[in-house]
Structure 1
Amino acid sequence: MCDLDKNNKMPLYGQLMNFLLSEIECNKFKEYEKLPSERELCDKFCLSRDTVRQAIFQLEKMGYIYKKHGKGTFVAPKQLKPDLYKFYDFTEEMKKLGKDAASKILSFEIIPADKYIAKFLKIKENSNVHRITRLRIVDSIPLIFEKTYLPMEKFGYFHIDELNNSSLCNILKNRFSVKFSKGEETFYPITPDEEIARYLSLMRFQPVIKIERTTFEDEIPIMFTERIVRGDKFKYTVITSF
């Protein structure tokens, strides 16, 4: 089989990339499924080994596939694409994407707000806040290390058992009658420290994205969240209009 167009202006490796991408996107090759070997692709498309390797290298670089030493090349799990335009419940949002999601509470404590946290919540420095540290897990893979801060002045005492039985979003809505109005988010890349690398099972120098989100009720900030997100698992798209 030699159905790539050698007269096309697009390089042959690019044509092979597009073919494999279309097969992945239409689920002919499913997540974690092994791709044909380099030799099989060479024979099927009448291509040189260098051309096939270049296509495979680019797809791996883009995060669509990954290699296992001695076992072959496999389809990477698709990147998650949460909706940035609304306040979302993490578990429910992952369910919409067909994923099995869970949250592991690492700590639940009351601390004095430092200057940085106080700035986002517009409270006095050293005011008491709830700090909830959680690990967000999707399909048994840890993907997000998260710290959430809630001012004690607005949210009095609540117990860790509540978080074990309900989402934070539902607790705030149902017990504290919160009506979320908007959220402001800032994204930037960071180098993970040892703690984050350990919790997210990261390799050395693996990219992560830090997301700072302030959530408002009317124009009053009521929650500040710091998320460290695995850059290889999440994709965020912003659409602008003119």
Structure 2
Amino acid sequence: MRQALRQLVEQQILESIQGSGTYVKEERVNYDIFQLTSFDEKLSDRHVDTHSEVLIFEVIPADDFLQQQLQITAQDRVWHVKRVRYRKQKPMALEETWMPLALFPDLTWQVMENSKYHFIEEVKKMVIDRSEQEIIPLMPTEEMSRLLNISQTKPILEKVSRGYLVDGRVFEYSRNAFNTDDYKFTLIAQRKSSR
């Protein structure tokens, strides 16, 4: 029985999650880099349970780097939030976000257990315009490996992004680490006409 399960895991029909069990392997999430959607929106058509585990939720001073990224001053303070995003019980992504306290004085732990985009658009009535993103392959840190339940020798993709409201204000700077077994990134490249 164990050998049969091991073979199905090797064939990527099943997946083994340490400390949880062996399950039918889920289809990869299509991450369309040209469509700005929340984690919940990306998975909504699959009708699966998604949730977030908030690990850090604090207000911190804005250092030089955060001042530059969020276009704020040294006097400004920022929310620092770290959370693991789950599909069912499987960790899919590790997100670390910094958001200006002045824009979101009423942000709560409960909001960050769910969808921050829903909070921004539906509760705050702000209009999100765009996100400038950079995707970088890298080896996970010990913490990333532990939280995503992957080997430290398995490459991951990190998306670094800065989100803008329609009025030009930066509402977030974030870093998202993705388990490459769970995502596929798609884009359409169009050839520029020489005529």
Q: Do these two structures clear the TM 0.5 threshold for a shared fold by scoring above it? A: yes
Cα deviation, 1:69-106, whole Å, max 9, x if unaligned, reads 69873425322112322321211221224443211111
Cα distance in 1 for residues equivalent to 2:91 and 2:112: 18
- Which residue of structure 2 lines up, in the alignment, with residue 224 of structure 1? 173
Matched, 1:68 2:6: yes
Structure 1, unaligned runs of 5 or more: 1-66
The offset of 1:194, in angstroms, is: 1.0
- Aligned counterparts, 1:74-223, within 5 A: 74-75=12-13, 76-125=25-74, 127-164=76-113, 166-218=114-166, 219-223=168-172
Please say which structure displays the higher CA radius of gyration. Answer: 1
CA-based RMSD of the aligned residues comes to 2.3
Matches of 2:9 and 2:69, distance apart in 1: 48
State the TM-score, normalizing by the size of structure 2. 0.79
What TM-score do you get using the length of structure 1 for normalisation? 0.65
Distance in 2 (CA, whole Å) between partners of 1:70 and 1:80 is: 21
Runs of 4+ in 1 over 4 A off after TM superposition: 69-72
Write the distance in 1 (CA, Å) between the matches of 2:129 and 2:152.
Answer: 39
User: How many residues are aligned here?
Assistant: 175
Question: Which structure shows the bigger proportion of residues in helix conformation?
Answer: 1
- 1:207 and 1:232 in contact (8 A); partners too: no
Asked whether the equivalents of residues 52 and 112 of structure 2 are also in contact (C-alpha less than 8 Å), the reply is no
Secondary structure at the residue paired with 1:81?
Answer: strand
| Runs of 5+ unmatched residues, structure 2 | 14-24
Amino acid at match of 2:174: T
Q: Distance in 1 between matches of 2:131 and 2:146?
A: 29
The alpha-carbon distance between structure 1 residues 230 and 71, as it changes in their structure 2 partners (threshold 3 A), is: closer
Report which structure shows greater RCO (CA 8 Å, sep ≥6).
2
Higher strand share: 2
Q: Structure 1 pair 213/71, CA: closer, same or farther in 2 (3 Å)?
A: closer
